[in-house]
């Protein structure tokens, strides 16, 4: 019998830590090779950690929600034969033997090696270095359950006071609402019914921000903190483009899916970007290096049940309208049903964010760090437009955009959007001398 | 002579719903009139729960004595002669119990300053009621009406009550024991009475349309009762229909379409109860119905302002304790309190042999954990000759919170555990709570404790 330490492997792209989002094993479980041990979440993808060996789980490290450094021990196993570690059990967790510790220093980044050995020896170094998530009492608050979980007298008192018990956090066993919980709720101003008047709403929930929502929060925070955004909005006449799109959909070429505006917009970007190389880029501001890209990798901001995700259309410059349409559909479905692979969720060089019919008249989109530009088409509306001596009805759409002002000057941003406008308003320009 | 009363509250019906509502209203200082055509007490006290429990008790005693008079004796007790039943005397004893209780209720009503009118109420509209009493007609124009008219046994069209065809009411007043009895309907009322008569030495046959007895309870709970019936030679005709009566007894048709006659001197029809909605002017009160029942909301308010309805007339479960709880609540609402009817569970009991108790959720799903403890492993049960095979307490809890959401059991004397079962569910106890409560030894309640330990994976005695 030997001891095998399963360490959080490098999950790619310079990721140095990952969040545990689900455990599939517990101490005592017998597992086979390739059984799923846990799900961890990196920047945007959830990755299944599968066991490389058969064995019995002897310990797991880190609660759901904990951040785990690459190379830290995730699972300890007992295996037939040698194993890969000394047989002395690990201390429970953390540096000085307490609960899982807060990471004091960032763990060593582990760029490429699958299982890096710690470069320095510290006491407890073998153990999962975890960062505790916001500590809330670990009870299931029965928010929204049909019947409240409380004794009859508590239910009666709450009803008399007009307090819906499902909004009162229970601290009793199993989340039971104790009389004192109701007292606390009232003391905290939770009364919801003004005598005789209209009801005052003072309920609220404590929602632990974990998983994808935490990723989004961190990402947005990072983008807004680091990047001085400059926003630019221009009105674009899409009458001709819409006519073309409608005509193409009315009599589709073989194998051509239904086209939305998005593939046309991407083709226009592909056409415009070579003249504005600094717009199609990633800015490593720590190193002070701008990495421009000839390939156009377009992130498509996508609303999923869990929140915002950005799957990436790679090498859009090499895709026809039909290919783009299919790829966008495939990626958004994958993002929504959670089957998107990690590499499909990273590596974009510019991002499009569109709210479709909810597009409004203008947005100030947040740049998908470390990119330098984001394009947000707004809603198409029919508008009276002055054309010479006449007023005509035209289909008009605003294009909102944000640029990293450190890289892109307002002047260049305006030039870029004006070029986009020129291409969209005269869609033939998009396709001239081009295989698409 | 005609006078008009204008009380704050008029309660129609003096059963466990109505009399409790009236007493509570009186306690709260509301001027209250209760109308009841019979004595106060209702079906429950006069011809239901209480008299049937008295007869069941007497029948149990008789059966034990009969066993003692057998050659083998019973627990070492041997009677020289067979016990003799004087059913008329048993009924007098039962009536004494009923009298004591109804007299008690009358006293309680008096003490709460409730005016009791003995007569039949009929409404001209929702707020005008006339009561024919021995002293003439009394008109009542109350501010609030509480309808608590209860329910009556359902008749089979082919076999109206009368003569040899009995409802539970007549069965509980027989003074001569029939030699044979056919029971149509193996719900809890039919089984309780059928078993009692079987214990008294009557040859009993049960006829039930469904596939098994007590179709509203799961099979594990009803199996010990079916075993008892089998062991005591009670004829069972399941999936069979009662067609009517003939000179010799009850004509039935079996699932295989065989028709034959069950010899029966008396036929007890217990195919359910229906709300009493006729004969008192309900149709003139413009009250919305829900099927056969009066439609009420969670405050027992009907569709007409200040007209309330409680108990059997409002729907299932038709149980006295539900009616009482509703009655108490409505009185408090009328007195200005904010209330609603939101029990976590309403316990249901079958006083069969053995007894069945069901509280709360009884069909566990994937999200539940179940712990079951057999009475065979309970010292007190064995010492009372109550450790029958197949009898148990079963606790159902939510897996993630441990919260107990249902407790059921089957076993002798288990009805007395209903209080603990429903308390645990109402108080939101978890399995750990129940496991942490010291239960007195030796008592049947230890089985409840052990069922929680079982659900937690560490029962001691199994």
Query: How far is Cα B19 from Cα A393, in angstroms, rounded to an integer?
Result: 77
pLDDT of A40 over the 90 cut: no
**End-to-end CA, chain A:** 62
From chain A, the residues in CB contact with B403 under 8 A are 149, 174-176
End-to-end CA distance of chain B: 73
What class has domain B3-45+94-152+274-334? Answer: alpha beta
- Mutate which: A176, A177, A182, A192, vs B, most B CBs within 10 A: A176
* Cβ distance of A159 and B338 shorter than 8 Å: yes
Return the CATH number of B165-271, one of 1.10.8.60, 3.40.50.720, 3.30.70.250, 3.50.50.60.
3.50.50.60
pLDDT in tens, A284-296: 988 999 999 999 9
Give the Cα separation of B320 and B105 in Å (integer).
15
Task: Say if CB A367 and CB A402 are below 8 A apart.
Answer: yes
Q: Identify all chain B residues contacting A156, using CB atoms and an 8 Å cutoff.
A: 339
Note if A337 is an active site residue: no
Residue A28 or residue A127, greater confidence: A28
Q: pLDDT digits over B299-352, tens only?
A: 999 999 999 999 999 999 999 999 999 999 999 999 999 999 999 999 999 999
Distance CA(A172)–CA(A154), nearest Å, equals: 13
pLDDT single digits (tens) A238-275: 999 999 999 999 998 888 899 999 999 999 999 999 99
Residue range(s) occupied by CATH 3.50.50.60 in chain B: 3-45+94-152+274-334, 165-271
Structure-model confidence comparison of residues A32 and B371, the more confident one: B371
Q: Do the chains contact at A175 and B401, CB–CB below 8 Å? A: yes
For residues A144-158, average pLDDT: 75
Q: Does B340 touch chain A (CB under 8 A)?
A: yes
Q: Do A160 and B340 touch (CB under 8 A)?
A: no
B64 and A CB contact within 8 Å: no
Residues B388 and B379: their CA atoms lie apart, in Å, by 12
- Per-residue confidence at A434, pLDDT binned at 50, 70, 90? low
Q: What is the model's pLDDT at position A127?
A: 39
Under an 8 A CB cutoff, do B337 and A160 touch?
A: yes
Pick the CATH number of A137-207 from 2.40.340.10, 3.40.50.2000, 4.10.320.10, 3.60.60.10: 4.10.320.10
For B245-307, give the secondary structure using H, E and C: ECCCEEEEECCCCCEEEEECCEEEECCCEEECCCCCCHHHCCCCEECCEECCCCCCECCCCCE
pLDDT at A214: 86
Separation in Å, CA of A162 to nearest CA in chain B: 9
Query: How far apart, in Å, are the Cα atoms of B207 and each of B182, B186, B244, B268?
Result: 7, 7, 12, 10
CATH assignment of A1-136, among 2.40.30.10, 3.20.20.80, 2.40.50.100, 3.40.109.10: 2.40.50.100
Query: What is the tens place of the pLDDT at every residue in A79-107?
Result: 887 777 665 544 444 334 333 333 333 44
The pairing of strands A55-60 and A73-79 is antiparallel
Q: Which residue has the higher pLDDT, A144 or B356?
A: B356
Nearest to B430 among A142, A155, A174 (CB): A174
3-state secondary structure of A371: strand
What is the spatial distance between Cα A260 and Cα A177, in angstroms, rounded to a whole number? Answer: 52
What mean pLDDT is predicted for residues B167-181? Answer: 96
Q: Locate the domains of chain A by residue range.
A: 1-136, 137-207, 212-431
Which residues of A fall below an 8 Å CB-CB distance to B? 140, 142, 147, 149-152, 155-156, 159-160, 162, 172-177
Sheet (strand B348-350) strand order: B348-350, B355-360, B404-411, B392-398, B368-374
**ipTM tops the 0.90 cut:** no
Residues 6+ positions from B140 with CB-CB distance below 8 Å: B4, B5, B6, B7, B10, B33, B35, B117, B121, B128, B129, B130, B131
Residue showing tokens 């009482």? B324
A405 catalytically annotated: yes
Mean predicted lDDT score pLDDT of chain A: 80
| Superfamily of domain B348-456 in the CATH hierarchy | FAD/NAD-linked reductase, C-terminal dimerisation domain (3.30.390.30)
What are the structure tokens assigned to A191, written together? 């009364």
Q: Is B338 on the interface with A (CB under 8 A)?
A: yes
User: CATH 3.30.390.30 residue ranges in chain B?
Assistant: 348-456
Contacts of B338 in chain A (CB under 8 A): 159-160, 162
Stated pTM of the model = 0.59
The torsion of the CA quartet B68, B74, B76, B79, rounded to 10 degrees, works out to: 0
Query: Position of tokens 């959909």?
Result: A249
pLDDT in tens, A191-212: 554 445 566 676 777 788 888 8
Q: Which residues contact A383 (CB under 8 A, 6 or more apart)?
A: A393, A394, A395, A396
Classified as helix, coil or strand, A309 is strand
The single-letter DSSP state of residue B312 is: G
Listed range (A108-112, A307-311, A322-326, B93-97) with the worst mean pLDDT: A108-112
Could you please state the CATH topology (level 3) that the domain comprising A212-431 is classified under.
Chloramphenicol Acetyltransferase (3.30.559)
Instruction: Give the pLDDT score at A433.
Output: 67
Place of tokens 């007190």: B380
CA distance A188 to B311: 40
Over 90: is that where the pLDDT of A398 sits? yes
Report CB contact under 8 Å: B427, A151.
yes
Between A214 and A421, the higher pLDDT residue: A421
């Amino acid at each position: 019998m030997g001891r095998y330490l399963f360490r959080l492997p490098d999950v790619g792209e310079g990721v140095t830590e990952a969040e545990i989002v689900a455990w599939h094993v517990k101490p005592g479980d017998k597992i086979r090779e390739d059984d799923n041990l846990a799900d961890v979440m990196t920047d945007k993808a959830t990755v299944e950690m599968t066991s490389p060996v058969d064995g019995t789980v002897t310990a797991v490290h880190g609660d759901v929600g904990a951040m785990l450094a690459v190379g830290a021990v995730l699972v300890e196993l007992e295996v037939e034969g040698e194993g890969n570690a000394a047989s002395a059990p690990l201390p429970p967790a953390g540096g000085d033997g307490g609960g899982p510790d807060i990471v004091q220093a960032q763990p060593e980044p582990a760029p490429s090696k699958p299982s890096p050995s710690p470069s320095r020896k510290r006491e407890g170094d073998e153990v999962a270095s975890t960062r505790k998530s916001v500590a809330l009492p670990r009870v299931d608050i029965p928010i929204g359950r049909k019947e409240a979980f409380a004794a009859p007298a508590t239910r009666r008192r709450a009803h008399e006071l007009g307090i819906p018990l499902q909004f009162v956090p229970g601290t009793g066993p199993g989340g039971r609402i104790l009389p004192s919980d109701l007292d606390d709720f009232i003391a905290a101003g939770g009364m919801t019914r003004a005598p005789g008047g209209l009801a005052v709403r003072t309920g609220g929930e404590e929602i632990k921000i974990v998983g994808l929502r935490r990723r989004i929060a961190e990402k947005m925070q990072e983008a807004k903190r680091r990047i001085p955004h400059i926003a630019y909005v221009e009105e674009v006449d899409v009458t001709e483009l819409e006519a073309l799109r409608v005509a193409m959909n009315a009599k589709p070429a073989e194998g051509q899916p239904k086209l939305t505006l998005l593939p046309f917009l991407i083709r226009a970007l592909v056409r415009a970007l070579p003249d504005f190389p600094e717009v199609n880029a990633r800015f490593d501001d720590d190193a002070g290096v701008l990495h421009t890209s000839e390939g156009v990798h377009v992130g498509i901001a996508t609303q999923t049940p869990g929140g915002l995700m950005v799957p990436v259309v790679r090498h859009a410059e090499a895709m026809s309208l039909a290919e783009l349409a299919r790829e966008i559909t495939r990626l958004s479905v994958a993002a929504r049903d959670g089957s998107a692979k990690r590499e499909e969720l990273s590596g974009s060089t510019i991002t499009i964010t569109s709210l479709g019919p909810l597009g409004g008249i203008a947005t100030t989109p947040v740049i998908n760090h470390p990119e330098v530009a984001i394009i947000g088409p707004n809603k198409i509306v029919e508008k009276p437009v002055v054309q010479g001596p006449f007023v005509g009805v035209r289909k008009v759409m605003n294009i909102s955009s944000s640029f990293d002002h450190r890289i892109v000057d307002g002047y260049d941003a305006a030039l870029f959007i004006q070029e986009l406008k020129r291409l969209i308003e005269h869609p033939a320009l998009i396709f001239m001398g081009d295989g698409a | 002579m005609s006078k008009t009363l204008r009380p704050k509250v008029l309660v129609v019906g003096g059963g466990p719903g109505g009399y409790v509502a009236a007493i509570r209203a009186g306690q709260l200082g509301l001027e209250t009139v209760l109308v009841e055509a019979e004595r106060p007490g209702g079906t429950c006290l006069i011809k239901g729960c209480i008299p049937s429990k008295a007869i069941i008790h007497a029948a149990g005693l008789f059966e034990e004595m009969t066993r003692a008079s057998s050659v083998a004796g019973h627990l070492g007790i041997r009677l020289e002669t067979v016990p003799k039943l004087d059913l008329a005397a048993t009924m007098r004893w039962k009536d004494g119990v009923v009298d004591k209780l109804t007299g008690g209720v009358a006293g309680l009503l008096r003490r709460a300053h409730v005016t009791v009118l003995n007569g039949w109420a009929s409404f001209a509209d929702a707020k005008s009621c006339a009561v024919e009493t021995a002293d003439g007609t009394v008109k009542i124009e109350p501010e609030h009406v509480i309808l608590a008219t209860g329910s009556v046994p359902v008749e089979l069209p082919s076999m109206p009550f009368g003569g040899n065809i009995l409802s539970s009411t007549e069965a509980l007043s027989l003074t001569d024991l029939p030699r044979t009895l056919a029971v149509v309907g193996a719900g809890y009322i039919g089984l309780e009475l059928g078993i009692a008569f079987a214990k008294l030495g009557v040859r009993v046959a049960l006829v039930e349309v469904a596939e098994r007895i007590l179709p509203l309870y799961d099979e594990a709970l009803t199996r010990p009762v079916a075993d008892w019936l089998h062991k005591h030679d009670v004829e069972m005709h399941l999936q069979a229909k009662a067609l009517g009566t003939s000179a010799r007894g009850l004509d039935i048709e079996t699932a295989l379409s065989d028709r034959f006659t069950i010899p029966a001197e008396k036929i007890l029809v217990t195919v359910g109860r229906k709300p009493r909605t006729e004969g008192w002017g309900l149709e003139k009160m413009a009250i919305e119905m829900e099927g056969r029942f009066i439609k009420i909301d969670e405050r027992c308010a009907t569709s007409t302002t200040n007209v309330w309805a409680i108990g059997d007339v409002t729907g299932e479960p038709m149980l006295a304790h539900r009616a009482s709880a509703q009655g108490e609540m409505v009185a408090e609402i009328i007195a200005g309190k904010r209330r609603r009817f939101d029990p976590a569970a309403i316990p249901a009991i079958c006083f069969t042999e053995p007894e069945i108790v069901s509280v709360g959720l009884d069909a566990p799903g994937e999200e539940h954990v179940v712990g079951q403890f057999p009475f065979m492993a309970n010292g007190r049960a064995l010492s009372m000759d109550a450790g029958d095979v197949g009898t148990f307490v079963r606790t159902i809890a939510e897996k993630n919170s441990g919260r107990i959401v249902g407790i059921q059991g089957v076993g002798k004397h288990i009805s007395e555990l209903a209080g603990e079962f429903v308390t645990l569910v109402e108080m939101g106890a978890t399995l750990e709570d129940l496991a942490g409560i010291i239960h007195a030894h030796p008592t049947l309640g230890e089985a409840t404790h052990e069922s929680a330990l079982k659900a937690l994976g560490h029962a001691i005695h199994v």
